[in-house]
Copies of this chain bind each other. A is one copy, B any other.
């Protein structure tokens, strides 16, 4: 806001003058128009070189009512899920020539609102948004009405009709729970995350379905909500481990929680994987470096990013008709953190 800066400015005007042509002609060669003689083209190019001209894309965009930027709003960067998502989005957007403007909400509505308007003010050509849980449809719908393409990623918003890319969370929760059940577990905790999140609800539903299918009861004392961080995992496992009748396995809302939980188990003298089976969600790189290696449900964050970028591009190009939805199929990655249940409850 309080920014300001003196700019030494070689303008297209200067280039044109130096080359002995009009501003319009200079602009034409800049943009590679075919109906410019090779001779003047060279003259202008030489002038740009000599003067050290730098194109003012901002001014050009203003005049031609275009945009070369895209806004990207995610929760935070500390969770590798989002770094990976960002990598995918960024890499793909790059190919299309967009420049990305980044914002992180830390799941605060106020920040998300601010970020959204900042991006509009900066004339972004479109927005990729991983929305704060419980976001109202209002804000986003307003943006869409303005004609700015939006694609939601990972987190849906009720009553908003726009592109969405996500993972089949129900299925993900289901295959995780099924895996645990197959290993003989009958008391399976559901650890971390918050029930306001659509992804939480869906993973929980999958978990429930697997229980129903196996004829297992669901004990709500075994679901504990915490932030989806390592800290949250520590808190969650602690609660469940000190309960009167602890579970023999835990399905964690995401890998961060799973890792926090396993760290805390070690801290308390338990052996994760043996004393309690753990499965995570996302398959972040950390999943593979922990001992035991984390069995988890991959949500392909990088791929999600790539899809999101492509959808946005299609919309910006006007190639989109109806709002699209892309749901990736999750995959169970079996590693080392799930042993068989020894008996009904932990020894």
Contacts and interface: CB of A to CB of B under 8 A. Distances in A.
Nearest to A147: B8
Given A66-B4, A125-B3, A118 B99 contact: yes
Interface string A146-182: 1111000000000000000000000000000000000
Contact of A104 (B55, B90, B98, B286): B90
Interface string A74-87: 00111010011011
Given A77-B86, A290-B289, A3 B54 contact: no
Contact of A147 (B2, B7, B76, B90): B7
A147 B65 contact: no
A7 B316 contact: no
Contacts of A103: 99
Per assembly, the copies of the chain total 2
A153 B78 CA distance: 20
6 contacts: A5-B125, A57-B122, A69-B122, A77-B87, A101-B101, A263-B289
A41 B109 CA distance: 28
A68 interface: yes
A86 to B, nearest CB: 6
A268 interface: no
A123 B56 contact: yes
Given A121-B56, A122-B99, A67 B289 contact: no
Given A118-B99, A142-B52, A123 B1 contact: no
A221 interface: no
Interchain residue pairs A-B with the least CB separation, the first 8: A1-B97, A57-B121, A4-B66, A291-B291, A3-B68, A54-B120, A55-B121, A58-B123
Interface in A275-329: 285-286, 289-291, 316-317
Nearest to A98: B3
A212 interface: no
A62 interface: yes
Contact of A65 (B5, B65, B67): B5
Interface string A102-134: 111000000000000111111101100000000
Given A58-B58, A286-B286, A5 B263 contact: no
Interface in A1-23: 1-8
